Structure 1
């Protein structure tokens, strides 16, 4: 009886990562370092040309979400090299940064890429990494990397918390300083306040849609899913 109780109380060994998962882990680390190098290159380039303003630079949604990508990719990559499955918390955060990365890529390439540049124009490749290649990898990683547990639908709301807080901050700062990080947030522009509201609501809906698609994909019966989907 005693021996059986000891056996039952013995902690379960952590399963090691599969070769495929380790491969994605290495890719996560490499892309995380590439995103970090892109941000560092932009900062160094702007400093070299006396064009760096920390308050403005780190106020951009792209930069803040890219810094999140660095942390999540490095943590996720390290975990993927060692264990078979991501934690639920990491997967929830990955779902959020996936939505932000997709929105960053879509908004930049549809609304901002062809706008005439204002002020300093820096090295081009970091911009492409942050707005194109990193978002593409994050989507591919979510869809195909092994060891991703399914997320409950109740986790959907987490994806919108940070973007809403960022919008409030950006609008308040713009009102106080006159600096708006993106033209579509400027209520003095052609669209006025209604135009700003339209863009904000549209992007918020898009973030929720991407997050919902990510959760739905995590619940499909594929080899990328580590264990059965939790209840709603």
Structure 2
């Protein structure tokens, strides 16, 4: 799938998602599509890479243009001070690019950010328990109100500590609220089971290992040949020099 054979609506939806221009409702609907469409996920990753490349190229081009304009202006004045300012502008450009380059997050964190897509959530009629608190929590989760979702899910998880659905979605909350260690523990449990979340749990575990620099653990998962995630796993490992 590529821009040439994407319909315009889908291409614009991908662009809006990458640039964070979607409403909460639109984002939730799009993430539901992503969860069930491998080709769409691949196109999303390609678009992210393209936008990052454009942003980098645009920054460099803008800085070069500013420096060139300053140099031309000061040269036209024909003064020593003008030459000094032109040199200073060039140095400033170099410093700005250097600061930007070295100020970027490490590649493992960038790869996690590029490939992690939050699970869209279940229809509330598919709750793992009969407790209405589960459905309420799922609604909060879909709206991005993670503290409220966790407050309702955690008591249920205490009662059913091996419930894969509760483990999986509380792990999602942990990830988006920067509690990766807790997420790893929960996803490990799900990944060793046989529920419908097992494959996805392994993928998110892989991403968490990558983010945390645990490349040995990530590679040991053996996801390179996975029918759903294998291509992305191989690409990530390649970018990490593995």
TM-score (norm 2): 0.27
Q: Larger C-alpha radius of gyration, 1 or 2? A: 2
| Greater RCO structure (CA 8 Å; 6+ sep) | 1
The two structures have a TM-score, normalised by structure 1, of: 0.28
Higher helix share: 2
